[in-house]
């Protein structure tokens, strides 16, 4: 069976119904399926199957202290995975789901510890992509999925990025076209009385606070132990070419990526795809103009800071 999966992983599916049916069967059978969301492509497995979730960590080279986001297709599925489902989560889901917001809540016992890095909480998200939602519905189970790339590398926003990064590690790749949001979701913890922003994204913090009131912003976790959210490692989202933020080395052949007149969401939508293309051009370095330190740009600035060379 394992060899059969590896052979299938070398072929790329298309986002037609027959392929979603096959991908859903693979998910139910413990396989790994790369699929599109509006943020980035995810590497998915049955979130209720500990052995399947463990395959995600091995395929990515991901440390076990970095939890996975669980993708759902409905509020009913989200509520069933929480213990309990907070009232603040209900309000935020009504405002932002489907969409690029992950809510960290107390987890139900049905979710294996491997998915949550042993934590009593789970990150839940309803993606705003028709292929992702159809896959979850067809599989009939929640799907645990980090980005479909090697750990700490540049996230994939197209099916070809998945193939280049993971290749035969994936049993099937559903091609749903380019991601439209372009960077990973905002992650907000509701596991305690005080809401905590764990990872910024494209939803500005003031928009979240307009729904639930003040939100505290988390710092980076201490070394060792489980991280409360994915994407909290100090070095992450990195192209192979050394990236510098706000300055460029004096030596070598490089290129600048300018902010220009782009707004934050427009820039985020093309950021990873642009970096993937620049990575193929043999530069010695890539320098990126530093974006404004405003709520709208917080997600982009976070990704660039983690990707940049010290």
Tell me the pTM.
Answer: 0.91
Which CA distances in Å does 189 have to 53, 89, 170, 241, 294?
22, 9, 30, 33, 21
Q: CATH 3.90.870.10: which residues of the chain?
A: 2-217
- What does the pLDDT look like over 249-282, one tens digit per residue? 999 999 999 998 889 999 999 999 999 999 999 9
Name the CATH code of domain 2-217 (choices 3.10.20.740, 3.30.365.10, 3.90.870.10, 3.20.20.110): 3.90.870.10
What whole-number distance in Å separates Cα of residue 192 and Cα of residue 106? 9
- What does the pLDDT look like over 198-241, one tens digit per residue? 999 999 999 999 999 999 998 776 666 677 777 666 677 899 99
In this prediction, residues 39-68 reach a mean pLDDT of 96
Which pLDDT does position 223 carry in this prediction? 62
% of the chain residues with pLDDT over 70: 91
Strand locations in 153-274 (E): 172-175, 186-189, 196-199, 216-217, 243-245, 254-257
- What does the pLDDT look like over 132-167, one tens digit per residue? 999 999 999 999 999 999 998 999 999 999 999 998
Token pair 């749903």 in the structure block, residue: 176
């Amino acid at each position: 069976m394992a060899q059969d999966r590896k052979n299938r992983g070398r072929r790329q599916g298309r986002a037609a119904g027959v392929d979603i049916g096959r991908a859903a069967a693979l998910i139910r059978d413990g396989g790994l399926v790369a699929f599109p969301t509006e943020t980035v492509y995810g590497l998915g497995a049955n979130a209720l199957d500990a052995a399947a979730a463990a395959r995600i960590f091995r395929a990515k080279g991901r440390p076990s202290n970095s939890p996975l986001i669980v993708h759902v297709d409905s509020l009913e599925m989200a509520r069933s995975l929480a213990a309990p489902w907070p009232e603040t989560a209900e309000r935020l889901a009504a405002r932002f789901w489907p969409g690029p917001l992950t809510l960290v809540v107390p987890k139900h016992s049905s979710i294996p510890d491997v998915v949550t890095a042993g934590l009593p909480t789970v990150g839940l998200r309803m993606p705003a992509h028709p292929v992702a939602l159809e896959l979850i519905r067809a599989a009939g189970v929640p799907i645990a999925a980090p980005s479909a790339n090697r750990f700490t590398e540049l996230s994939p926003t197209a099916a070809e990025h998945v193939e280049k990064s993971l290749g035969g590690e994936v049993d099937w790749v559903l091609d749903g076209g380019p991601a439209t949001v372009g960077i990973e979701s905002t992650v907000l913890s509701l596991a305690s009385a005080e809401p905590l922003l764990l990872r910024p994204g494209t939803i500005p913090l003031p928009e979240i606070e307009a729904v639930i009131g003040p939100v505290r912003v988390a710092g980076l976790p201490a070394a060792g132990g489980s991280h409360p959210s994915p994407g909290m490692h100090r070095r992450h989202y990195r192209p192979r070419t050394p990236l510098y933020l706000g300055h460029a080395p004096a030596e070598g052949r490089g290129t600048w990526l300018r902010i220009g007149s782009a707004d934050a969401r427009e820039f985020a939508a093309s950021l990873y795809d642009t970096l993937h293309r620049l990575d193929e051009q043999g530069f010695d370095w890539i320098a990126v103009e530093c974006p404004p330190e405003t709520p709208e740009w917080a997600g982009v600035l976070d990704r660039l800071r983690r990707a940049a060379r010290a």
